Amino acid sequence: MNKRSITLLFSIILSSCTKPVQKQEAPVLLDQLPLERYLSANSAPVFQVDSQRSQVLVKVRRGGLMAKLGHDHIVSSRQLRGFILMDEVNQRCEADFYIPLQLLEVDNSELRKQAQMKTTPSAKDIAGTKINMLKSLEVEQFPMVKLRSADCSSAFTNNVVTVEIQLHGVTQKRQITLDWYRDRMGFITLQTEFSLLQTDFDITPFAIMNGLIAVEDRLEIDVELTAKPLDTTKQ
């Protein structure tokens, strides 16, 4: 491939990665959280996610025959919201979590360093990646990802937990391992790692040049959250 061909190739890649889309407002979630269901939990201990002390990380891997021209990406959120009912005495557990997709952060430099990612995308690369990601997720129509466990009591005995993941209008059940503990202040910390395929949720992984540069179907997800006791007297 000569120098002129390489220049043309990169021009095509950059123009494909930065196609503008209409700016969208962040979705409002508070009205959609199932607060009333948890408030009527018959005095069972209920916890509310502390978004500032919680984080979701998604590793997005590059693929295709020309993957070396692309980047691995890390997508993160500190906007996780939701509730957990954890009653060890009566072996009751229920949880609902929500993440607004519009507010996802792409390629935070510190998180990339922690993940030991080998490439360094430019600001233009990062902006283009977020545009394409939101476009693939169709965030205007599907603004949130939801995780729900109607019965997570198996976590009390260190067994897998069944969760429903709702993404892009599709709901899938998954079995995940869940590590958790309660600290001296009564806060609960939960941690889990799992993966999912975009195509399982009717999402077409982003690709250009007939797939020569593409995003891999599999996403690696790491969730760590802290939840504080819900003060029902203030609700």
pLDDT of residue 65: 58
| pLDDT of the residue at 159 | 94
Confidence bin at 101 (pLDDT 50/70/90): very high
Contact of 217 with 199, CB cutoff 8 Å: yes
94 contacts 84 by C-beta, under 8 angstroms: yes
Query: Is the whole-model pTM more than 0.85?
Result: no
- Every domain of the chain and the residues it spans: 3-234
For residue range 64-80, list pLDDT tens digits in order: 555 565 678 899 999 99
Closest CA to 166 of 225, 49, 82, 84: 82
Average pLDDT over residues 162-171: 96
Which residue in the block uniquely carries the two structure tokens 């609902």? 96
pLDDT of 166 > 80? The answer is: yes
Per-residue model confidence as pLDDT tens digits over 82-92: 999 999 999 99
Q: Which one is the CATH code of 3-234: 2.60.34.10, 3.40.50.880, 3.40.50.12160, 2.40.128.110?
A: 2.40.128.110
Q: How large is the average pLDDT for residues 20-26? A: 39
**Contact call for residues 174 and 196 (beta carbons, < 8 A):** yes
Q: What's residue 211's pLDDT? A: 60
- pLDDT at residue 17 in the model: 43
Q: What is the token pair recorded at 75?
A: 């997508």
More confident residue, 235 or 24: 235
| Residue 103 scores a pLDDT above 50 | yes
Q: Is the pLDDT of residue 57 over 90?
A: yes
Q: Kindly indicate the confidence band of residue 216, based on its pLDDT and cuts at 50, 70 and 90.
A: confident
Helix ranges restricted to H, the chain: 3-17, 35-39, 109-114, 123-137
pLDDT of 205 strictly over 80: yes
Average the pLDDT over 97-101 and give the result: 95
pLDDT (0 to 100) of residue 34? 72
CB atoms within 10 A of CB 214: 20
| Residue carrying structure tokens 């890390």 | 74
Close Cβ partners of 187 (under 8 Å, ≥ 6 residues apart) = 47, 50, 226, 227, 228, 229
Per the model's pLDDT, the better-predicted residue between 104 and 117 turns out to be: 104
Instruction: Give the H/E segment covering residue 173.
Output: strand 170-176
The string of DSSP codes covering 117-157 is: -S----HHHHHHHHHHHHHHHTTTT--EEEEEES--GGGGG
CA 141 to chain CA centroid, Å, is 17
For residue 19, pLDDT beyond 60: no
